[in-house]
Structure 1
């Protein structure tokens, strides 16, 4: 069953253009739909990526601005360390004098220090803890939210960064120390600010370091969205929130976006999950593929309908052609005004012309047979003349008249070649051979005339119009007036240059004056444009060369009285 179906399908493909067109359409449409779908989906994904890039740069810029705002606030709070109270003592003085008085003085100083640290931590959002390191003895004062005021020895990360180089005042250190935020592993940005003694002559003496810790979770949690993780990084370290393994973030499942801070040294990076990012675009892809499938089906139905209509119209024309093959020239009935109607009108016109042609051809065939019989009869005359000339030549030989015998031979050869060789184009060497026969015939009555034939061997095999030179030579004997000239001379030369062949026919006859030369040149320019009957030989040469070489030839004439005349023909090389 399946084999018969496949065989029938193959037979339909071979016999029906409709089926072939439909299959080609299905193939092309399927390829185009797939390509178009991929292009559109790629464009949608690119738009999603571009939008996400723009949005994430805005978000990263917002986080960077938040860091700068808090840094400015911290710097302002640093100035308040130098502000004196009603007793003329600043917070910095109390820090420097702590542990250097009695218990009551230390308690009062500790309360003032605690108030400063507490106020700083609670006045800036996202600050979980504040440290102050006294440089003289590495005494650590700090305040932690939910833990209160504490003082004691400071941890390793503080010891690594609390000292500053010359002309260095601020450090931002990404930090994951649990000491900064107990019972968490969120990480902070620890801002180290150098505190100098402004009461000494040397104001570059560092007396302490203020350390304010910014909670990265507070900075970023409100704008995470599709962001899987955020990293703050500089030369001092890096911190990632929410905590994630770096090898996990390096996989192809995440899109990484980086942005440097133009006002600081912190580089922010965000990782976005591609699965979440393209979740909405996948829904768009499903809708898109559905629309493309509908478009494909509509196009297929339209193609089936159109191709079917075309197939029916072609069947009408095919039936009409079968009728003509059987000798029935009836017309196609035209009912529409489309392109096929124009074809049908042309078909009807062709059918009518064909019918008339067949009727005429039947009559012409009879006439052609009569013409053929007459042509066969006409061929008897050249043979008869050739045989007669040969009889005359043999009679001249019997009478020992060699000159007459040679003349009759040359005439017979020239005539036989002209009759037998029906080619329009002949080799140059062959044309020159029979021109020489013609010259020998003419020179029997003009013994004072000499001739030379100069032919370049490289062009001898190229073709030239048969008897295109003989009429020009004949004009020389008509107009050169050789009878009164003792050293009369005719020269023929042929040579080639590039794609052209040049033939020069010259004599040293009487020549023409300027007026006559101008008149002849004017005649040559209008040859073929009127019915002027003078110089039929030149007219014949001109028309044949024009037809054979599509006008790609030249005929030039030069002459002077007492010097002679030169005719130069230029024709294309033809093999």
Structure 2
């Protein structure tokens, strides 16, 4: 773009309007967006940290409730009733064990089954009697390892106190074969409290229950931790009871080596002595803020783009009519008065456009009346004389040649000239571009006579199969003759022996005429057929060669009747070719339409 063009655009009304709209709308929008984004991002960051603190607090309360729940479940054995003569489980076990009652196993088994299904996270339950006998149940019917000494020696020291709950940190189920599930174990001694004060009765056994990690995962799933966020539940000794990084469970807690990128939070669990720690990765924590900020940036960008588009459209709506008037004035200056400005509004610009159109019409009218009308009339008269003189001259000349041939007894040449004369008269009749199908048939017969003279009856034959009622139907002149010519030259003449061209005209479906030209010539290969069809579809350039005549006919009918009409070609090599022409039955093409379409 040169400097003069740039200066012209800069001084245009369109540029001034657009720049004004952008400055007035864009500057306040950017200022408000900057202030809002800074305020909003600070608020979201504080709110997000507060949310994590609240979730840590709730997690601590939920863990305390979980511990209390399992503590209470172990106490249920003191209120568990036994059918029959016993009022409590401890008494039943003590008496049945002393009497070696065979019901002892069923009594303990019923108790374990009841306890196993009191909570969905209970995986295994055990009851160890004072004589060392062990009964157990599992929800998944796991295979118990009878070689395992249950409970481990490290557990026994916590069971010295007969009244308190014993807790064993997370461990694998080593006492079940082929099981690597992680569980934490709660245990409580059972005493026979009847006939004794408090819980100081004789010990009858110990109840153990394994709880899966699902109890912790249910608590922490609401926190929506990121891949680098780590949550810990530590017991009073600092051992990791639970972590979302399962590989850390059972290990002593170690602070992260790098704490710069983390926010660390600690929450104690009341009445239990446990601690909940969280190491939250800042980048992941604030990634949600970044997502919100990106969304806001997209919204702001869309608003800016909308503002620019509105400015351009509004400015173009104001300056467009003025530019249109300027362009039309340039055409009038060059002598082209066949122009009008489109009126798009009723405002002052619209009034200006209407006045300009009226001025052009009046000026054109004056010029036509005084000068152009006379010149056009003289030219039309001259063209009419020429169109009459030229065909008449050709007809007379051909007649002289024909009579000379007849005088010399060369009747075959005379017949050929007569057929040619009929064809020229058919082609050069400018006043009629739409003819009945019967006239097109007669022209084809004249053409075929010439071909018979040229190649002989031993090479060519023609058959017509026309429905009688279709002979009066109008079709565009020279619709079928190019198809016959194509069949003779590209089909029949390329084979040895005689060939036949069959022309069929029949009424098709949905008000169509179907004219089919079949030949039993050499046909086309699949590749050649596809190339011809591609030319008809306009997918290959219409250069000279095979298919150019067919394309001209196809394009003519597509222009006259629309893209749904034209030629359909099928061919089989060594069998022949069929060209089908489909045109509307009722639609008639006038001379004026045909003339415009051929320009």
Normalising by the residue count of structure 1, what TM-score does the alignment of the two structures yield? Answer: 0.38
- TM (norm. structure 2) is 0.37
Q: Which has the larger radius of gyration?
A: 1
